[in-house]
Amino acid sequence: MRRILRRREIVADDWRHLGEDLEEGSALIVPLVELRKDPERWRQWRGRLGVLLRSVDPVEEVAGDLPRLDLVAVEFPTPSDGRGYSAGRLLRERLGFRGELRAVGAGVRQDQVFLLARCGFDAIELASTEDPEAARRALDRYTIAYQPGSSEVALRRQRFFA
């Protein structure tokens, strides 16, 4: 059972990625390309539905889908690919997405967790090698930030934009 960091808790993941074992009606994360391939199937999907954006997918692509999505997952293929940070802030601040915003992929490490939380990610699906406890501790690594941010997860005192 995969464990994820959701807000400040380590919990069993109640979502499945397309291709993983699932029961009818369970919560499912579907890559954007699949969502577009068979729109009718997903319109009729009875369970909770999420979309997975690759780091090259523009978030604007899913703007119209957000009302019926419970989750948006953003892929970080490597720690150095920082496009997903912009995606997170845009989803939260511009597109007003209030569902679960999840970071996924091999690039999601404990050393990125603090930045992810600050960009509005409230769920962290760590790379399989990572220790969730260490990631949870990393949320509290800093007690001040110098930028405005979307996080309600990591404790912040902000300098310019208090």
Judged by DSSP in three states, 5 sits in strand
Q: Which residue has the tokens 């902000």?
A: 158
Residue from the set 28, 52, 74, 115 that interacts with other proteins by CB under 8 A? 115
- The CA distances from residue 65 to 28, 59, 124, 130, in Å, are 15, 11, 22, 32
Q: Which residues, at least 6 apart from 111, have a Cβ–Cβ distance to it below 8 Å?
A: 79, 138
Mask: binding to other proteins, 40-79, rule CB under 8 A, as x and -?
------------------x--------------------x
| Residue 102 near other proteins by CB under 8 A | no
Half-sphere exposure of 34 (CA within 13 A, CB side): 15
Report, in Å, the least distance between residue 43 CB and other proteins: 29
Report, in Å, the least distance between residue 73 CB and other proteins: 18
- How many residues bind other proteins, per CB under 8 A? 31
| Residue 161 near other proteins by CB under 8 A | yes
d(CA 142, CA 79): 19
| Residue 80 near other proteins by CB under 8 A | yes
| Residue 148 near other proteins by CB under 8 A | yes
d(CA 18, CA 8): 26
Contact positions vs other proteins (CB under 8 A)? 58, 79-83, 85-86, 89, 93-94, 109, 111, 114-116, 118-119, 141-149, 157, 159-161
